[in-house]
Amino acid sequence: MPTAKETTPLQPVAAIAGWVFPGLGHIVNGNIRRGIAAMAGVLLLFVTGVLVGGVDAIDRKEDGLWFIGQAACGPIAFAVDSANTAFLKSGSAAPMIPLPPSVLNPQPQASAFKGLAHANEFGTFLAFLAGLMNACVILDALVRAPRSDGAAGSAMRGRRADDASPTVSANTSAGGAA
């Protein structure tokens, strides 16, 4: 159990930087390898979601609950949503197609490039998972000690090397099966 002296103070600047761009919080903290790995994972999921589902996969008006998770990716989610609104929903990227009327909207229209069916759903889900992953990365950057990657890695290497030698020699000298 950690004592009060071993407790690492929270890193709010790192958490904010991690929301501004995925992985940046760890990089600001000095944990560069961890930050690059987190950045690659979150961006790969997010970009794959946009490529699979189209720009329409990020939509805060039509997919509000999904967008809450997607927003954890930071400003990139808001930028893609703005592109969706500016190009697809306005009709500037493709013509607007009339849809069957409903009680709530007597003359609904949708862009000819609107994502439909399972591909759009998968894209929305992948971008949502990217947001959840980045939320975990942000929390990790908030509580992780600065420059803790290098020290932990070298300590683990030394401990593994020390543990391996006595175990092998103890098993061999005691007549243990190989």
Write 38-45 long-range contacts (CB < 8 A, 24+).
Answer: 38/134, 38/137, 38/140, 41/133, 42/73, 42/130, 42/133, 42/134, 42/137, 43/130, 45/126, 45/127, 45/129, 45/130, 45/133
- Is residue 136 very low, low, confident or very high in pLDDT (cuts 50, 70, 90)? very high
What is the share, in percent, of the chain residues with pLDDT greater than 70?
A: 76
pLDDT in tens, 107-132: 777 766 666 678 889 999 999 999 99
**pLDDT tens digits, one per residue of 30-52:** 999 999 999 999 999 999 999 99
When the pLDDT of each residue in the chain is averaged and rounded to a whole number, the result is 82
Provide the residue count of the chain.
178
Give the pLDDT of residue 163: 46
What residue spans define the domains of the chain?
12-99+108-161
Q: What is the pTM of this model?
A: 0.74
Q: Per-residue pLDDT tens for 53-93?
A: 988 899 998 889 999 999 999 999 999 999 988 887 777 76
Reply yes or no on whether the pLDDT at 174 is more than 60. no
User: How far is residue 27's CA from residue 112's CA, in Å, rounded to a whole number?
Assistant: 41
pLDDT for the residue 175: 53
